[in-house]
Amino acid sequence: MRFAELVSLFGELEGTSKRLEIRQALSDFLAKVEPAELPAVIYLLQGQLRPEYEGVELGVADSLARKALALATGLPEGTVRQHGSRSGDLGDTAESLWGEGKKLASPPLEVKEVYDRLTRVAEAKGEGSQEVKVDLLRDLLTSARATEAKYLVRLVLGRLRLGVKEMSLVDALAAAFAPEEGFKEARAAVEAAFNVTSDLGEVASRLATQGLPGLAGVQAQVGKPVRAMLAEREATLKDALDRMGGTAALEYKYDGLRLQAHFSGAQGGPVKLFSRRLEDVSAQFPEILEAIPSSLQKGPAIVEGECVPVDPVTGELRPFQEISRRRGRKYELTRFQEEVPVRLVLFDVLLAPEGPTMDRPYPDRRARLEDLVGVTERIDLAAREVVRDLGSAEAFFLRALSDGCEGVMVKSLATGSTYRAGARGFWWIKYKREYTHELADTVDTVVVGAFRGRGRRAGRYGALLVAAYDAEREVFPTLCKVGTGFDDRALKDLTRRLSPHELKEPPRDVVSTLVPDVWLEPSLVLELRGAELTLSPVHRAGDGLLRAGYGFALRFPRFTGRIREDKSPEEATEVKELLRLYQTQVRHAEAETGEGLPEGGKAPRNEKGTPPDGTESP
């Protein structure tokens, strides 16, 4: 396939933010692509070369792209730089520098060729690699037409930003390759296969070559992270137990970092650790890498658990924050290993040496996990008890708290309690200490904008505009403005991390009526606590779910100090969860006062006193 055809799809996608139009354009296009080229097309549409968990990066900085552009156009680098800073987008610069009349001697670019060459750019590492990258890029650009050059430059800089979400590709693949009448079923199969492999390229290729039956056999594979099964909430332990029919397994809810460990089985062979965000975080936890083979003995195996910091002397659990200090510390790891050793507390098994286990009910998986795991200083099993009455559940919950956990996970023992990759459901219910006061839980929000600080905060951001995620519409609607809970250092640090994501225009997938001083591309997820959720005419999260023209807003929000590095923007709290939180809050209010909140929540109170966006002033 010609690269120009893909580029024309890029243009079409850029011109719309409507999900249905995006899906239609994608599915029409994917149906035309040769199966062999499909994975490359799928990755390129996401601005990638490989599935995200492989972490393949093109490693091209602006300066390098400018150099390649100068060489390809024959213009001085200074001219390219000047033009680039005027337009603010090197892609646009490339397109306009090409001009109308650039004569190309070379034949039109093919998708495969572009993909292979970009792969070589990504693979160039170490000494002399910058020159190699420039040369490769220059050659590629020399063969490109103007619009191709624009998108090539954006691709290599990691700024394609077509707004193609994974779930749009799932929809489009199902629509392109499944029979008309079977869309729903096909979509479920495509999503299920994606949840198990986290690799849309592989799913697309199977679908194109073997049709839907090709997806049926997709199993968890060592080396490919499985998307995490997620939990629902209930307002009280009684509600949780009732929902499970009176009997359930309770496990300690450890407060750490969720990790999936992949073990091939070979002693001394590779072990991989994936975060909940599907990043390969193996390098951060050498002691766990070392401990897995001796604990499991046999492979292949995929086990899942929570990685928690422990006290080096007493072995007791330490606060979660201590683990986050390890992130990105390549060089000081040895010191951190001594100061903040970690333990992986396992709670599930997705692949056992005897075969896949995801389709087995939870009691069966737990039994296999217990068989498989040898408890060591570094590897443990989640504390667990099967309870049949509320009294035992409460006693277990209190034990969990006094052992340093944040609550319990209530797990279904039913035959349907299989491991549901990527799904949130009532097979697991979380119940935390916080549920007894204030807003029943923290919320994880994406930063989408910032307000400049004044006074002591001058020169950095003073408050942030944050959003929830609306999975149906694939947008980030705002939830509140937050300026509390940050000390000066945190604000400075956040400003440093966020400012490279500043945008001139509002991001296409952000829904906001407030206009911040700067817009930010959704990238960072912050945990917030608030007094309550209210209905607000200003914020757009869950717009119209309860009342036309009103969204949810978090009242008196404050940053808990926890950056959810383990969550991607799309894993921020969803508007559906906000609805449940709101309902939980109503139930608590009913329990305390004997009556519910006024219809429409606390919006009237908002209108009188507090700012409508539910914030305290910073």
> What amino acid positions are annotated as catalytic residues?
253
State which amino acid sits at residue 472.
Answer: E
Say whether residue 230 binds ligand ATP (CB under 6 A): yes
Exactly one of 224, 360, 368, 430 binds ligand ATP (CB under 6 A); that residue is: 430
Exactly one of 382, 421, 468, 533 binds ligand ATP (CB under 6 A); that residue is: 382
Q: Which stretch binds ligand ATP (CB under 6 A): 56-64, 133-141, 247-255, 281-289?
A: 247-255
Query: Is the bond leading into 51 cis (omega within 30 degrees of zero)?
Result: no
Say whether residue 427 binds ligand ATP (CB under 6 A): no
Q: Which stretch binds ligand ATP (CB under 6 A): 124-132, 248-256, 294-302, 536-544?
A: 248-256
Q: What is the dihedral of CA 407, 413, 415, 420, to 10 degrees?
A: 10
Say whether residue 559 binds ligand ATP (CB under 6 A): no
Cβ-based nearer residue to ligand ATP, 138 or 384: 384
For 379, the 3-state DSSP assignment is strand
Taking the complex as a whole, how short is the minimal distance between the CB of residue 229 and ligand ATP, in angstroms?
8
CA 322 – CA 561 distance, rounded (Å): 12
Residue 401 and residue 407 in contact, taking contact as beta carbons nearer than 8 Å: yes
**Alpha-helix runs per DSSP H in 211-304:** 213-216, 237-243, 286-296
Q: Which stretch binds ligand ATP (CB under 6 A): 21-29, 38-46, 245-253, 530-538?
A: 245-253
Exactly one of 148, 306, 380, 521 binds ligand ATP (CB under 6 A); that residue is: 306
Taking the complex as a whole, how short is the minimal distance between the CB of residue 437 and ligand ATP, in angstroms?
16
- Residue with the CB atom nearest ligand ATP in the bound state: 258
Cβ-based nearer residue to ligand ATP, 316 or 595: 316
Exactly one of 194, 336, 347, 396 binds ligand ATP (CB under 6 A); that residue is: 347
Phi and psi, residue 502, nearest 5°: -65, 140
Exactly one of 409, 463, 554, 597 binds ligand ATP (CB under 6 A); that residue is: 409
Exactly one of 150, 187, 224, 253 binds ligand ATP (CB under 6 A); that residue is: 253
| The pair of three-digit structure tokens given for residue 128, joined into one six-digit string | 């002399």
Spatial neighbors of 552 by CB under 8 A, at least 6 apart, are 468, 479, 533, 534, 535, 536, 539, 541, 542, 545, 575, 578, 579, 582
CA 556 – CA 610 distance, rounded (Å): 9
Q: Match 């986050």 to its residue by tokens.
A: 324
Residue 343 and residue 379 in contact, taking contact as beta carbons nearer than 8 Å: yes
Say whether residue 254 binds ligand ATP (CB under 6 A): yes
Site string for ligand ATP, 432-461 (x = CB under 6 A): ------------x-----------------
Say whether residue 570 binds ligand ATP (CB under 6 A): no
CA 555 – CA 606 distance, rounded (Å): 9
Instruction: Tell me which residues in 173-212 interact with ligand ATP (CB under 6 A).
Output: none
What's the sign of the alpha-carbon dihedral 495, 501, 505, 510?
negative
Taking the complex as a whole, how short is the minimal distance between the CB of residue 10 and ligand ATP, in angstroms?
32
Strand 476-482 to strand 510-511: parallel, antiparallel, or no bridges (unpaired)? parallel
| The pair of three-digit structure tokens given for residue 569, joined into one six-digit string | 């923007």
Q: Which stretch binds ligand ATP (CB under 6 A): 28-36, 143-151, 253-261, 488-496?
A: 253-261
Nearest in space to 161 (alpha carbons), one of 4, 328, 307, 17: 17
Spatial neighbors of 409 by CB under 8 A, at least 6 apart, are 231, 250, 251, 252, 253, 347, 428, 429, 430, 431
Task: Count the residues of the shown chain that bind ligand ATP, applying the rule CB under 6 A.
Answer: 15
Say whether residue 562 binds ligand ATP (CB under 6 A): no
The contact set with ligand ATP (CB under 6 A) reads: 228, 230-231, 251-254, 258, 276, 306, 347, 382, 409, 430, 444
